[in-house]
Amino acid sequence: MAYLFTSESVSEGHPDKVADQISDALIDNFLAFDKDSKVACETLVTTGQVVLAGEVKSTTYLDVQKIARDTINKIGYTKGEYMFDGNSCGVLSAIHEQSDDINRGVDRASKEQQGAGDQGMMFGYATNETENFMPLALDLSHLILIELASLRKENKDITYLRPDSKSQVTIEYSDDNIPQRIDAIVVSTQHDDFGDDETMLNKIRKDIVDILIPRVIAKLPESIQKLFNDDIKYHINPTGKFVIGGPHGDTGLTGRKIIVDTYGGKGAHGGGAFSGKDPSKVDRSAAYATRHIAKNLVAAGVANEILVQVSYAIGVVEPMGVFVETYGTCPFNMTDGEIAEKVSQIFDMRPFAIEERLKLRAPMYSETAAYGHMGRKNETVSKTFKQPNGESKTLDVELFTWEKLDYVNKVKEAFKL
């Protein structure tokens, strides 16, 4: 029997994502001037206020207030009427030095013997239902909000948009797990107060359906475009007007959108957030590594859908184990346990080996903090960072290295494909 599956996304202006972006901007600035920095930084945002807290071990000094303000302004919170804007909000820093007790278990005389920064299990997932090997419902949810943010910043076709928004897409699948059609789309967007409620809501609905959705469809391959139809149920700002939003409407915290950040509810999640953590924290680095593994396995033809789990003990260099689930989609006669054994032979999952393989000691994290950490474009960009003393550094940074299909040939060779 056909079934429905739903995923959601939230915009860069959502309060939790504002917090994630500030935390990751701090990570990038620390790594830009001291690539060995150890950082765990949490952010809270609310009406007119930002609170930074966490632990840092680094040789560099940063103006964390300026970094927070610049991040908020870049997102689009630049007006006093939002009750939260980068130029006037208060920024309180309670960042202190990392505990030696924790650091003792991570740093070693040989970097290759670096222990895991914490215990836990991390999951990576990939499916061949989209070109970027991501679940379709989440991919569409992200794209809707990316285009909505573009419309907001263009300020031409739609001129009343504010930064906070959410989306949700429900897809009907066949019994053999093939997407058949889009059943429903939800978009809730913050907006200016530009009239009576009925006039505003009618205008917003018309613009979302007639302007936003066609822009989204135009960016999709033909196979996905066919899933859009005249029977889609649209829920646009279903609770009514949405003028009060962002950190003024809802307090935001780092790490509260872990399903949006990963696979939209497909696969599994170990529970650890990513933003605000340097790559010695396996919550982040091993989640990227397992995505890299799963994507390369699916691209190589090992299975149509794959979940990879790895687990660690704090301070221990070797993982506790690697688990693979192919959901019965492996086309050749090999058990999931046998596949997991080969994965362990192909991919070195020691924390330092992951950092080296995926080049994780670069300031690459601000771009991950909105619209998902997985399924994004691997590219190299130029980034400039400034210290309070005026020192400036420009770096070429490779983004989303875990999305590279650089192990496909090695996988094919190992599995004789």
Give pLDDT, residue 206: 98
248 annotated as a binding-site residue: no
Bigger pLDDT: 112 or 168? 168
193 annotated as a binding-site residue: no
Mean pLDDT along residues 394-408: 98
332 annotated as a binding-site residue: no
79 annotated as a binding-site residue: no
404 annotated as a binding-site residue: no
256 annotated as a binding-site residue: yes
241 annotated as a binding-site residue: yes
242 annotated as a binding-site residue: yes
Mean pLDDT along residues 33-44: 96
Domains along the chain with CATH numbers: 3-10+136-250 (3.30.300.10), 16-110 (3.30.300.10), 120-128+255-415 (3.30.300.10)
291 annotated as a binding-site residue: no
What would the pLDDT profile of 100-141 be if each residue is shown by its tens digit?
665 555 665 566 678 887 899 999 999 999 999 999 999 999
376 annotated as a binding-site residue: no
386 annotated as a binding-site residue: no
361 annotated as a binding-site residue: no
What would the pLDDT profile of 217-264 be if each residue is shown by its tens digit?
999 999 999 999 999 999 999 999 999 999 999 999 999 999 999 999
3-class SS string, the chain? CCEEEEEEEECCCCHHHHHHHHHHHHHHHHHHHCCCCEEEEEEEEECCEEEEEEEEECCCCCCHHHHHHHHHHHHCCCCHHHCCCCCCCEEEEEEEECCHHHHHHHCCCCHHHCCECCCEEEEEEEECCCCCCCCHHHHHHHHHHHHHHHHHHHCCCCCCEEEEEEEEEEEEECCCCCEEEEEEEEEEEEECCCCCHHHHHHHHHHHHHHHHHHHHHHCCCHHHHCCCCCCCEEEECCCCCCCCCHHHHCCEECCCCHHHHCCCCCCCCCCCCCCCECCCCHHHHHHHHHHHHHHHHHHHCCCCEEEEEEEECECCCCCCEEEEECCCCCCCCCCHHHHHHHHHHHCCCCHHHHHHHCCCCCCCCHHHCCCCCCCCCCEEEEEEEECCCCCEEEEEEEECHHHCCCCHHHHHHHHCC
357 annotated as a binding-site residue: no
373 annotated as a binding-site residue: no
Assign 79 a pLDDT band (cuts: 50, 70, 90): very high
Mean pLDDT along residues 140-149: 98
